Structure 1
Amino acid sequence: MTGEWFTEPIAGQQCAQVWAPLDYQGVQGRSIAEVPTVRLAVSRLPASGARKGALLAISGGPGGEGLGLIESAYPPEVREQFDIVSYDPRGVGRSTPLIQCAGGLDTDSTTDDTEAIEAAERAEVAACVRDTGLHVLRHIGSDEATNDVDLLRAVLGEKQINLLAYSYGTQIAAMYALRFPHNYRAAVLDGVVDIAERPHEWIVGQNRGYQATFTRLAAFCADEYDAECPLGDDPAIAEATFQQLLRDADSAPVPADEGEAVRADDILVATYTGLLWRSMWEPYLRALQEVRQGDGTTIRRFADWQDSAGTNAITAITCTDIAEPTADRAARQQQAAARYDAATYDNYDPRPAEFPLEDCDLWPFPGKIIPGKALPLAPSRIESAARLLFVGTRHDPTTPVGNAERMAKYMTSPLLIREGDGHCAVFNDENSCVDAEVVRYLKDPNSVGDKVCA
């Protein structure tokens, strides 16, 4: 069900609020007016030429706002042939109700007191339950978000939808292809999530990816950066140099013009952004050098941007998807240690004697899409369903290229690899070869095969 489409005074976009059931399983033949609902904020940019269908963009995160994807750098052929449609997923941005987890306990970011850390985690979980509502939390994850995509297809009047998914959004697209195999015409998945990986495995994979990218950043800083390298001139000791900078920031927080003084945790949050895209390497290194010189202003902005990018939604959606609550500390220690060891650049303090339980360990209910339980360990595409196009970047820190390689094999679909660094490239003015191949696929999903773009 949808409200009337209305035109925004922004490049001719048409917007609407789409009502969706909070709990699809709870509808059971009742009308939308009789069940709890969410409202999805949707924007549409009509095709400028002979229309071929609708292309729905699915944002990353989880918890990333999606309306802005309508303004990506779509090639003229795509703008001519497809309505471009974007939306804020349930719980996020201009969609309602919003995920809210305010009011948790604050704890000293430098503490190694396991009990204090866990008290803060429990308080955050309790705040999510209180502020969002337990019933909403149960239905805010990927299971319902996948059904939302099919609802949007129906609202748009499309027999088959075309999908363009980024990062976490590729999980939704892959689940959609499995659940509604004949309701999509084409699906491009960029920055691929391997939906067959268990949660512990993908966290270890991400940590290894960030470690590898930090090593590449250190080499770039020493050999190619055109200013003084804050990590030093020897990549072999860059990690130790960075760890000392983190220790210094905790012992003497670095003042910033706006907000609180910068500590190690703030630098690490900023580092996740700095490593994620190659275009951010130089701005990040400049900000890091300013920290060394006693000015935390720019690194504070980096950290605050990352903190504002849906942290509550990331926690809530992730735990709703994959939480396996337990009070069995021993069962978590080996996994926590493996995650800790997978990335060493940020291990500036002594190794913890005991790793605290985390948000998802303390979640009030089990996750709904745990691989091996709700999702197959080897997903496969039925022969009559359209092929998908999986896109990976060789040195992507957060969705390693192996994810795309495995998913392309599972789903017997073509694989497009971009050589280089960074996360997601399609229609972002990153690589003309990638964009051209995606355009070719959207025109004819059977026209492309495996390819590597330099």
Structure 2
Amino acid sequence: MQGRSIADVPTVRLAVSRLPASGARKGALLAISGGPGGTGLDLIGGAYPPEVLEQFDIVSYDPRGVGRSTPLIQCAGGLDNAGFAGDTVAIEAAERAEVAACVRDTGLDVLRHIGSDEATNDVDLLRAVLGEAQINLLAYSYGTQIAAMYALRFPGHYRSAVLDGVVDIAERPHEWLVGQGRGYQDTFTRLAAYCAGDYQRGGTECPLGDQVTAEATFQQLLRDADARPVAVDEGAGDAVTADDIIAATYSGLLWRSLWQPYLLALQDLREGDGTMIRHFADWQDSAGTNALTAITCTDIAEPTTDRAAVQQQAAALYDAATFDNFNPRPVQFPLLDCDLWPFPGKFVPGKLLPTKPERADHAAPLLFVGTRHDPTTPVGNAERMAKYMKSPLLIREGDGHCAVFNDENSCVDAEVVRYLEDPNSVGDKVCG
């Protein structure tokens, strides 16, 4: 059989940026973005402390399928299932169209190699290309899944690994989705308390009313927008629907710093102007939706045509976050994109992932960082992973998703700097 040249082999190209250390260099610090589907090149501009910039090259990259890397995940021919609430047939038709568009526009062979398995190996390829015997990792959100798998797969190839906004890789997919739903429900409850308390005491009307009725008030806003979309300024986009408000809310809940502008946007909505809510919703829609779907399903899909098989899990997810349940509970939950994916995922516990991850004895401890009221990666994830991997746990009291080197908490940043300077120097700690 005649061999093939490198030009004949399908190639993935990753866009990478590198900022050299300004002083006595300890190595390269590779930043791994969240998502899945989040771009990563801009992580090179994070609020890194002077000690980090002095001792480490900062390296960032767009993961395969994302941003400026190629080939790019594309699902342009799908249908939007917004507005089909309660219509199982219409929702499933839209989901099938989206999956078909991903296969057609991205290519089935690319999709098969776009998941977290390959992304983990990409980190080691980057380490080799950078000329590092050992790499230092700084991972955010979904990126912590890649970092954790890297530590398990290449235990001798990393010097340190900071995981902020932790994914528990030992959870089954439906378990982490339910946990995420509960996290957003908790944050909505805390937002409602803030709105009726400090926010309103500051002289601004709370658009959610009192804390007891906040969820019912919000659901009525959704029903009103579902019946009659709210107008926006000319050129701002389409009128705001209930689905847009939900997308905007998930954006607004993500960081405490967004609570005030989100509530102002919600008050504008109540007064008939959906422009600011449209901006929040569009930010959510632009945050790598196609890549998120493709990578997630490539990882965790369990294709089925048996509706009964997915009902219990779908019901648990529906019940995990109740604040946005403005329509009657479905009699039958529809099949969604990962149920309709063309192949099963492999990045699940007991298959590609260990059912109980354990750090190798000779490998460096990792540093797991969690925020007490993180809506999307609950703090329990960090607590469990730190225990599995016999590694220190750093908890930030407060709200929001990810805090390391984001000008968020000086105590957290100082502890991370100490860890990066000596991975064996830190223990468990809580930062206020």
Shorter-normalised TM range:
over 0.9
Letter in 1 for 2:351: K
C-alpha offsets along residues 137-178 of structure 1, whole Å, 9 cap, x if unaligned?
Answer: 000010000000000000000000000000000000000000
1:55-454, aligned counterparts within 5 Å? 55-107=29-81, 109-225=83-199, 226=202, 227-232=204-209, 234-257=210-233, 258-454=236-432
Describe the shift of the 1:379–1:329 C-alpha distance in structure 2 as closer, same or farther (beyond 3 A). Answer: same
What displacement does 1:252 show?
Answer: 1.4
CA distance in 2, matches of 1:345, 1:125: 28
Report the CA distance between 1:31 and its aligned residue: 6.8
Query: How far apart are residue 111 of structure 1 and its match?
Result: 3.8
Q: Is the 8 A contact 2:15 2:61 kept in 1?
A: yes
Q: Which runs of 5+ in 1 are unaligned?
A: 1-28
Q: Secondary structure at the match of 1:392?
A: strand
Change over 3 Å in CA distance of 1:32–1:417 after alignment to 2: farther
* Alignment check: 8 A CA contact 2:396 2:430 kept: yes
The answer to whether the 8 A contact 2:84-2:91 is kept is no
Task: Tell me what 1:4 maps to.
Answer: none
TM-score, scaled relative to structure 2: 0.97
Higher normalized contact order (CA 8 Å, seq sep 6+, divided by chain length) = 2
Instruction: Give SS of 2:216's match.
Output: helix
- Report the alpha carbon displacement of residue 346 of structure 1 after superposing the two structures with TM: 0.4
Query: How much does 1:33 deviate?
Result: 4.0
2: distance between equivalents of 1:108 and 1:387?
Answer: 45
1:368 is displaced (CA, Å) by 1.9
Provide the C-alpha distance between the structure 2 equivalents of 1:84 and 1:103, rounded to a whole number of angstroms.
37
1:107 deviates by: 4.4
CA distance in 1, matches of 2:215, 2:166: 28
Q: Check 1:111–1:215 CA distance in 2 against 1; reply closer, same or farther (3 A cut).
A: closer
Runs (4 or more) in structure 1 with deviation over 6 Å come to none
CA distance in 2 between counterparts of 1:285 and 1:72 reads 27
8 Å CA contact 2:371, 2:396 repeated in 1: yes
- Name the CA distance, whole Å, in 1 between partners of 2:85 and 2:351: 36
One-letter amino acid of the structure 2 residue matched with residue 247 of structure 1: R
Deviation at 1:302, TM superposition (A): 0.6
SS of aligned partner of 2:349:
coil
**Does the CA-based 8 Å contact 2:86-2:327 persist in structure 1?**
no
Q: RMSD between aligned alpha carbons?
A: 1.1
Structure 1 residues 185, 107: CA separation in 2 closer, same or farther (over 3 Å shift)? closer
Partner residue of 1:6? none
- When normalised by structure 1's length, the TM-score is 0.92
Amino acid at match of 2:232: A
Do 1:170 and 1:190's aligned partners in 2 also have CA atoms closer than 8 Å?
yes
| Partner SS state of residue 384, structure 2 | helix
CA distance in 1, matches of 2:139, 2:40: 10
Instruction: Give the percent of matched residue pairs that are identical in Structure 1 and Structure 2.
Output: 84
1:84 match: secondary structure: strand
SS at match of 2:13: strand
What amino acid maps onto 2:393 in structure 1? L
Residues 58-79 of structure 1 show CA distances to partners (whole Å, capped at 9, x for unaligned) of 0000000000000000000000
Question: Cα offset for 1:108?
Answer: 5.2
Tell me, yes or no, if structure 1 residue 36 matches structure 2 residue 10: yes
Partner SS state of residue 151, structure 1: helix
One-letter code aligned to 1:201:
E
Measured in 1, the distance between the counterparts of 2:181 and 2:366 equals 27
Shift of 1:110: 4.1
Q: Secondary structure at 1:425's aligned position in 2? A: coil
Counterpart Cα distance in 2 of 1:230 and 1:107: 28
Alpha-carbon separation, structure 1, partners of 2:370 and 2:53: 24
- Judge conservation of contact 1:110–1:250 (CA < 8 Å) in 2: no
Distance 1:375 1:108, change over 3 A: closer
Q: Distance in 1 between matches of 2:429 and 2:376?
A: 22
1:438 alignment partner AA: V
Deviations 1:164-208 (A, max 9, x none): 000000000000000000000000000000001000000000000
Q: Structure 2: which 5+ runs fail to align? A: none
Distance 1:278 1:108 in 2: 27
Cα drift, residue 35 of structure 1: 2.0
CA displacement at 1:112 relative to structure 2: 1.7
> CA separation in 2, counterparts of 1:369 and 1:30?
30
Please give the alpha-carbon distance, in whole angstroms, between the structure 1 residues aligned to 2:313 and 2:355: 20
CA shift at 1:373, angstroms? 1.6
